[in-house]
Structure 1
Amino acid sequence: MTEIQQTPTPASTPAPTLATVTLLPTVRPADDVDTEAAVLDSARQVLADVAAPAPVEMPVDKTVDLDAFDDAPLLPAWMKSPEGWAAYAGVFYRARRRGFRRWVRRQNTERGHVRQFGRGSRRAHEWVIGFEGVRVQGAAHTAHVLTREARAAARSARFTPRILGTKKELAMKAAEKTQKAAEEAVALHKKARKDRNRVRNLRAGVVYGPPLAAIGGGYLATGLLGAAAGTLATFAGGAFAGRSPYEEEADWSADWRSLGDGDRMSAPLLDASFKAAKVIGSDETLRIVQMPMLDARGAWSTVVDLPPGIPAKKAMRSVDELAAALGVETAQVSVSKKGRSGRIELYVSKDLPFTEKAKRGPLLAIEGATNFWGRISIGPDVRGLHQSIAVVERSGLVGGEPGAGKSASGNTILLSAALDPRVILWLADGKGGGDLEPFEPLCEEFEGDADPEAFYEMLQAAIADMKRRYALLKKLGKRKVDESLANKHPELRQKLVWVDELMFYTTDEEYGKKITKGLRNLVSRGRAAGIVTFCATQKPGSDVVDTSLRDLLSIRWALRCTTPEASDTILGKGAAASGYSAKNIESEMRGAGLLWAEGTNPILVRADYYTDDQVNELLERAADLRAKAGTMPRGPLSLPQQLRELGDDDARILAAVVDEFAARSAAAGEELDWLPGAVLLAALKDTGLDVTAEKLGALVVRTEDEKKANGAWEGSRVSGYLLARVEATITGRWGLTA
C-alpha cells in the first residue's frame, strides 16, 4: 500500500482535501500489516491537520420594511418601463380631467345667471358685514347694564346719611366699583366697534375694490368698452360666488367610474359593469382569478369566474352592453372562455385595435422558400400575438363586405403558397379586376376574365387531376398525400385552388349549379389528394354558396360584415348569438376579421399587409425559386414547340417548315404566306432532316393553284407551299393550332 502525500490546503480554499490511498495491484502488503487500520490512521491524520471553516455570518438588512407595500398592489417589473409610465401618465391625466368635469357638474344654475349674480352679491355683502356686529352688540348691552347699575349705586351712596357711618362707606365703595366696571364695559364696546369697522373696511376693499378697479381702470384705459369688460368680469365673479353646490354627501366617482374616463380596472368596477350589462344579478359578484393588469400596449386584461350557474356564453353575448358599461367601443372589448364554462378572460384595448399602421409582413424577412405543408402566417391578434394556421387537408372560406380587405387577407395565403416552389397554383378571378393578375406567371391554370364557362372547364380539369392522384395513391398503397410522399412523386405535389368572388360563378344561370356541384366534389374529396381549395366572396349566403358546399369549408375568416346574419353565413349559424359577430368590426379596422381555424372559438386577427411593390418583390423571389426548382409553369407553346413535343418524325418536319416561314417573314419585314419548295427543302437539310421533295409533297397535299408562285417569288418555275395549307395539315392530323 502506498500513501500519496498531499500538498497543504491554501488558506483561501474553504473545503479540505482528503488524502488518497491507492493500492498498487502489483504489490501485496505484508501479512503482518493491517491494511484497514493503515487507511483509517491516514485519514485521521489528514482530518486532524485541517481546521474547520469558520461560520459565515449572512448580512441582515435591518432597514427592510416588511409592510412597505401596505395596501398598494404589487407592480410587475414591466410597469416600470417607458410604456408603463406612459400608460400611467395617461391614466393620471384622464383622472384629473374627469375630476374637473365632476366639479363642473356640481355647479348647478337653477334660475339663471342673473339670479346667481344676485345671490353672489348678497353672499359677498354678508361676508363683508361678518359676525363682528354680534360682539359689538354684546359689549353695548353689557355697557348699558353696568351703566344703569353704576347710576343706581351712585344715587344710593349720595342719599345714604353720614350718621350711618359704615353703611355710607360701603355704599360709596360699591358706587366706585360699579362705575369702574361701567367705564371698562364702555371702553370694550368702543374697541369692539372700532375693530368691527376696521375688519369691515378690509373686507369691503377685498370685495368691492377689484370690481371698482376693473370698471374704473377699464374706463380710463379704453373708455366705455373697458368699463363694459370690467362690468362683465364683475358679473362673472358675482355669478361664480353665487353658485349653489350640492350640500348632501354623494359618491360622484360611482357615476363616472369607467375605463374610458381613465379609471383603473378593479373588482368594484368589474362588478358594476357586469351588473349594468345584466350579465350578473344586482346581488351577485365576480370572483377575480387573475388580477387586472396593464400590458405594454396599455390594455387591461383579467380572468374572472362568473357566479355559479351563469355560463361564459352569456357574457360573450353581452359584449355591446359590457363595452357601454366600461365606456369603450365594442371592438375594444374581447371576451373569451378560459378553461371552463364559467370562467372568462376579459381583454380591453386602450385604443381601437388594428387602426395603427401595419407592420412589415413576415414573409419579407424570409430569404429562402416557405413550407406550405407547415403553418402559414396570418397576422397579429388584438394582444399583438402573431397567429398562424395549417391548411393541410383543409379548405377555407373568406368573406366580408366590399372594402373590408379580402384581397389583402388573401395575399397572406397566396404569397405563402407562391413562395413554396412545390405548390401548384390554380387561380380564378371572378372579379376580373386584376387582383390576381401578378400571380398569373406562376400559375399552371389561370382564369382572369370572369368567364363561368372557362372556370367550369378548369374545375373539371382539377377533378380529373384529383382522380389521377387517387389512382396513383391506390397503386402506391397509400390513403392520403403527405409531405414525404409528395416529395417523392412530383405529380402529388400540393395544389392550391383559389376562387375569388365565388358569387359571380355560382350565380350564373347556365353554369352556376354545375360549378357548385364540381366545387363540392373537389372540396369533399380533394383534401386527402393534396388539393387545398379556398373561396372568397362578399356574402356567402345560401343563394350564393349552397350550404352543402359552405359547411365543407373548415377554415372560416369573417371580415367586416354589415349585419350579424351576414357574419353567421361565414362563421356558422349561432356565432353572432355566442358573441362572435363581424358586425362589431369598425370600418377603420381594414384587414381585421374573425378567424375560425383552430380551437373552439374564433379569434380577431388582422391580416399581414403587403403593398403592391412588396407583392411584386415576393413574386419575383417566388419565380426565381420555382425556376431553380424546375417547377416554373410554361407559358403557351408555339406551334413548332407543340409539334416537337409529339416526338413524331413528320411533326418535326412540319415544325421546321413553320420555323422557316417565321424566319423568312422576319427577314422580309412582312408576313410571307408562300415559299418555294426548294427553299423549304434546303432549310430542312440545314436542320439535319434529309427530306425529299416527294416526301414533303406527300406530307402536305396541295392543289395546282397552291403550287404556283406568287408575291416576291412570281416568275419562279419551281412549285411552292402555302403557309395556310401547312397549318391546315397540322390541324387536321394532330388537332394543333398556332
Structure 2
Amino acid sequence: MTEHLADHTPAPPAEPMATVTFLRPAAVPPMPTEPPAVGAEDRTVVLETARIVLDKPAAPAPAPVAGRVEKVDLDDFDDAPLIPAWMKTPEGWAAWAGVFYRARRRAFRRWVRRQPTDKGHVRQFGRGARRTHEWVVGFEGVRVQSAAHTAHVLTREAKLAARHARFTPRILGTKKELAMKTAEKATKAAEEAVLLHKKAKKDRNRARNLRAGVAYGPPLAAIGTGYAMAGGLGLAAGLLSTFAGGAFVGRKPYDQDADWTSDWRSLGDGDRMTAPMLDAAFRAAKVIGTEETLGVVQMPMLDTRGAWTAVLDLPPGVPAKKAIRATDELAAAFGVEEAQVSVTKRGRAGRIELYVSRNLPFTDKAAPGPLLALESAANFWGRISIGPDVRGIHQSISVVERSGLIGGEPGAGKSASGNTILLAAALDPRVILWLADGKGGGDLEPFEHLCERYEGDADPEAFSAILDELLAEMKARYALLKKLGKRKVTEELANKHPELRQLLLWVDELMLYTTDDEYGKKITRKLRNLVSRGRAAGIITFCATQKPGSDVVDTSLRDLLSIRWALRCTTPEASDTILGKGAAASGYSAKTIQSEMRGAGLLWAEGTNPTMVRADYYTDEQVTELIERATEWRRAAGTLPNGPVPLVDQLRAQGDEEALLLAAVLDVFAAHPAEDGPADWLPGQLLLDELKAAGHTVTAEKLGALVQRTDEEKAKRPWGEKKTRLAGYPLARVEAAATTRFGLNA
C-alpha cells in the first residue's frame, strides 16, 4: 500500500480576524516520483518500500517559535471563500441537487400533513368561503322569520275571527256586529302583516344580491378574464388567485373567531340534527340539567320522508313523560312548529323516540284509502284502517266490544274521519246499521238505504224511540245468549245465528239530542245503559260531536266510550274533554293541530298514549262508489234492508175493495204528473172517468164518501186550457184517507 502525506492546516477559529499560529510538521522523506515497476519476477521491491514507509517513526513537531504570530483575515479570499473546490465539480453539484430535492420533498410532505389541520390551506379556503357566504347571507333572515311568524299568527287569528263572525246568528244583533268588526280588524291586521313580510323578503333579497356581487364578482371576473386571455393557463391562474384569496380570508381559525351561527341556527334553518344539538335543545327545554347529557341509542338519521328520528336515553331519574310534556319547548328549541315534533316512549321508562318532520305533517294530498282496493267484503270483526301517523305508518284499530267518541271544532274533519268507520261497517254485509244524524245536513243520507233504522231529521223524540227499540233488541240478544249458554257474541256465534250479527249505532252531532229540554236526559240515560251493557251483545256505539263537554255529554257516559279521537280544538281544555282530564298537561293536546292539517287528530284507542293520525280521505265520488259496492254485496248476501213500500203497494196488499179503489185513485194522480211529481189536485169528473175506464164500479157519491173533504177542499178550481172551474180532490186528502182508514204509512 502507498501512503501520501500532506500538510495539515488547523481549522480557522470561529471568530473573524482571529490570531492563527501555523505549526509546520516535520520533514518527511520524499516518496519516489515513480513507483517501482512490479513484475511477476520481483515483488520484493514494493514490499520493502511499504515496510520502510510504515516503520519509519514520525519526527516530533518542533516547538512553536515565540513571536511568530500571523493574523489572517478570513474575508480576504476570492469571490467564494466558503465553498469548497469540490462543490464546483460535477459530484459537488450532484450532492447539492440531492440535498435540495430532499429538502423540497420534506417540505411538500409537511404541507400535505398540514392540510387536514386548521392551518391547512384547503381548510383555510373552506373557512374563507363559509365566512364569505355568512357575510352575504347577513342577518336580514331573522327579520324575515319574525315577520313571517307574525303574519302566520295574525292570519290564523283572522280566520278564527271570521269563522266566529260567520257562525254568530244575526238575531243576536250587537254581538253579530261586534264579531263582524273584530273580524274586519283582524283581517286588516293580517293583511298589513303579510305586506310587511313581503317587504322584509324584498329588502333581504336586495341586500343579499348587493353583497353577493361584492363577494363573488371579483373571483368570477378573474377566472373569466384569465380564461378569455390565456386559455387554460389563465383559468388556472384565476382559480389559484381565488383560492389564495379565500385562504387569506379564512386564515384565522374559528376558535379565535366569533362563530355567531352556532347561537341561532337550528333544524328550522336546515341544519343537521347532531348529538350536541340534541343536548342543547333538551337543556333549553328544561328537560335535562345544564350538566347532564342524553344517551344516544340510535344516532339521528333521516328517514325516507325526510324527517329526523333518534332514540334517546334520558339521564337517570328523568321520566319520559317529562320530555313528552315539553313538546312545545322542544319545538321552539329546534325552530319548528309544535305539530312537527313527536315524542313517544320506547321500550322503557327513560327511553324516548324523537321524531321531527322537516315540513308540517298532513298538509300534502291524502293518498287513496285502502277500502277502494277491496275486491271482497270487509271484515268488521277484524282491524279497521284509520289512516297514517306522522311517520307514514298506517294505523288500525279494533272496535269489537268497544265504543267510541269523535270530537273537534267545526271544519276539523269529523265527517271524513267518521267515513273511515262507517264505510268499513257498510262494506261488511253482516253488520246492521242504525244511524242518527243530529246535524240534519244529509251527511249520512247516502247510507240510508243500508240502514235498519235511520233518523235524519234531527228529531230528539224519534231518536229516543229508536233507542227504546235498540234496548229491546239488546234484551232479546241477551235472552238468546242465555239460551245458548254463551256470555258474549263472537264472530263464529254471529255467523251461526244471524240475529246476533254486529250492530253499529252511529250518532252524529250528539249535542242536539242530549241538550234537548224534553228528551235530553232520557237520551243520555238510555245511551249510558246501551254503552255499558251492549258491548257483549255485539252492539257498538259511536258518537260524534263538536265539543263533548259535561254540558253536552254527561261524564258518566263519556267515560264509558273507550275509543277517543280528538280532532283540532281551539283550547287545551276542549281537547281534554275528549281525551280525558290531564291529557293536555301530559303533552297530548289537539290545540297543537294546525288548521292546514285537516282530518288529523289524536287517536287514543290502543296503548298508553294517544297517537297523531290523519284519517283516510274519500271523496264524494269515492264514497258513492263504495256505497254502491256495499249495496251489491249486501243484496247478494241477503242482508240488504227492505226499503220503504209505496202507499199504492200497501193498499193493494190489503186486498180490500175500498183499498183497491184508493190505490186506483193514486194511480190516476201518478198518470197526470206535474212539473215536480204527481199532480196535487185533480177534478172529480176526471177521476171518475179514469176509474170507470180501469174497470171500477164507482159513483161520485161513493168516491165522496170514501174520500171526505172539507168545504175549502170542495171549492172549485180552474182546470184545462179554458180554465173551467171544477170541483176535485187534493192528493193529500186521498193519502190521508188511505192511511187513516187502513193504518198505513205514506
TM-score tier (shorter): 0.5 to 0.7
1:506-585 alignment, distance < 5 Å: 506-585=514-593
* Pairwise CA distance, 1:254: 2.9
1:192-207 alignment, distance < 5 Å: none
Distance 1:94 1:455, change over 3 A: farther
- Mapped partners of 1:398, 1:664: distance in 2: 50
Q: Give ranges in structure 1 of 5+ residues lacking alignment.
A: 1-70, 72-92, 107-205, 207-240, 684-692, 712-721
Conservation of the 8 A alpha-carbon contact between 1:657 and 1:680: no
Letter in 2 for 1:567: S
The 10-residue stretch of structure 1 (663-672 or 593-602) with the greater mean CA deviation from structure 2: 663-672
Distance 1:597 1:703, change over 3 A: closer
Aligned residue among 591, 598, 606 for 1:590: 598
* Pairwise CA distance, 1:679: 7.0
Determine if the alignment matches structure 1 residue 446 to structure 2 residue 454. yes
Conservation of the 8 A alpha-carbon contact between 2:339 and 2:594: yes
Distance 1:98 1:728, change over 3 A: same
* Pairwise CA distance, 1:638: 3.1
In structure 1, what is the equivalent of residue 642 of structure 2? 634
Distance 1:406 1:97, change over 3 A: farther
Report SS of the residue matched to 2:433.
strand
Letter in 2 for 1:405: G
Report SS of the residue matched to 1:428.
strand
Determine if the alignment matches structure 1 residue 604 to structure 2 residue 612. yes
Distance 1:639 1:99, change over 3 A: same
Determine if the alignment matches structure 1 residue 617 to structure 2 residue 625. yes
Equivalent pairs, count: 480
In structure 1, what is the equivalent of residue 387 of structure 2? 379
Aligned residue among 259, 263, 268 for 2:271: 263
- Mapped partners of 2:130, 2:626: distance in 1: 45
- Mapped partners of 1:101, 1:391: distance in 2: 55
Conservation of the 8 A alpha-carbon contact between 2:650 and 2:744: yes
1:305-384 alignment, distance < 5 Å: 305-384=313-392
* Pairwise CA distance, 1:666: 5.2
1:26-425 alignment, distance < 5 Å: 101=137, 249-425=257-433
CA displacement 1:510-541 (0-9 Å, x = unmatched): 11111111111111111111111111111111
CA displacement 1:226-260 (0-9 Å, x = unmatched): xxxxxxxxxxxxxxx9xxx9996334343134211
* Pairwise CA distance, 1:475: 2.0
* Pairwise CA distance, 1:419: 1.2
In structure 2, what is the equivalent of residue 437 of structure 1? 445
Distance 1:298 1:98, change over 3 A: farther
The 10-residue stretch of structure 1 (561-570 or 655-664) with the greater mean CA deviation from structure 2: 655-664
In structure 2, what is the equivalent of residue 715 of structure 1? none
Conservation of the 8 A alpha-carbon contact between 2:604 and 2:611: yes
Distance 1:431 1:586, change over 3 A: same
Conservation of the 8 A alpha-carbon contact between 1:497 and 1:532: yes
Aligned residue among 456, 473, 483 for 2:464: 456
In structure 2, what is the equivalent of residue 496 of structure 1? 504
- Mapped partners of 2:134, 2:538: distance in 1: 60
Letter in 2 for 1:291: M
- Mapped partners of 1:605, 1:344: distance in 2: 19
Report SS of the residue matched to 1:440.
helix
* Pairwise CA distance, 1:99: 7.8
Letter in 2 for 1:409: S
Letter in 2 for 1:499: V
- Mapped partners of 2:502, 2:581: distance in 1: 31
- Mapped partners of 2:597, 2:557: distance in 1: 29
Conservation of the 8 A alpha-carbon contact between 2:707 and 2:734: no
Conservation of the 8 A alpha-carbon contact between 1:428 and 1:499: yes
Distance 1:730 1:403, change over 3 A: closer
Conservation of the 8 A alpha-carbon contact between 1:641 and 1:655: no
CA displacement 1:145-203 (0-9 Å, x = unmatched): xxxxxxxxxxxxxxxxxxxxxxxxxxxxxxxxxxxxxxxxxxxxxxxxxxxxxxxxxxx
Letter in 2 for 1:279: V
In structure 2, what is the equivalent of residue 159 of structure 1? none
* Pairwise CA distance, 1:361: 1.4
Q: Give the root-mean-square deviation of aligned CA atoms.
A: 3.8
Conservation of the 8 A alpha-carbon contact between 2:651 and 2:662: no
Distance 1:444 1:308, change over 3 A: same
Report SS of the residue matched to 2:540.
strand
- Mapped partners of 2:614, 2:735: distance in 1: 58
In structure 1, what is the equivalent of residue 436 of structure 2? 428
The 10-residue stretch of structure 1 (653-662 or 598-607) with the greater mean CA deviation from structure 2: 653-662
Report SS of the residue matched to 1:561.
coil
Conservation of the 8 A alpha-carbon contact between 1:702 and 1:725: no
Distance 1:311 1:102, change over 3 A: farther
* Pairwise CA distance, 1:635: 2.2
1:717-736 alignment, distance < 5 Å: 731=740, 735-736=743-744
Report SS of the residue matched to 2:463.
helix
- Mapped partners of 1:703, 1:250: distance in 2: 105
Letter in 2 for 1:423: V
Letter in 2 for 1:494: Q
Conservation of the 8 A alpha-carbon contact between 1:404 and 1:559: yes
Conservation of the 8 A alpha-carbon contact between 1:660 and 1:680: no
Q: Give ranges in structure 2 of 5+ residues lacking alignment.
A: 1-115, 117-128, 143-217, 219-248, 674-681, 709-713, 717-730
Letter in 1 for 2:475: K
- Mapped partners of 2:646, 2:656: distance in 1: 13
1:13-32 alignment, distance < 5 Å: none
- Mapped partners of 1:553, 1:573: distance in 2: 14
* Pairwise CA distance, 1:657: 4.5
Report SS of the residue matched to 1:444.
strand
1:459-478 alignment, distance < 5 Å: 459-478=467-486
TM-score norm. by structure 1 comes to 0.59
Distance 1:423 1:652, change over 3 A: farther
Conservation of the 8 A alpha-carbon contact between 2:401 and 2:540: yes
Determine if the alignment matches structure 1 residue 485 to structure 2 residue 496. no
- Mapped partners of 2:513, 2:452: distance in 1: 20
Letter in 1 for 2:294: L
* Pairwise CA distance, 1:489: 2.1
Letter in 1 for 2:622: Q
* Pairwise CA distance, 1:659: 3.7
CA displacement 1:68-101 (0-9 Å, x = unmatched): xxx9xxxxxxxxxxxxxxxxxxxxx999976854
- Mapped partners of 2:134, 2:423: distance in 1: 49
* Pairwise CA distance, 1:660: 3.9
Report SS of the residue matched to 1:347.
strand
Conservation of the 8 A alpha-carbon contact between 2:651 and 2:663: no
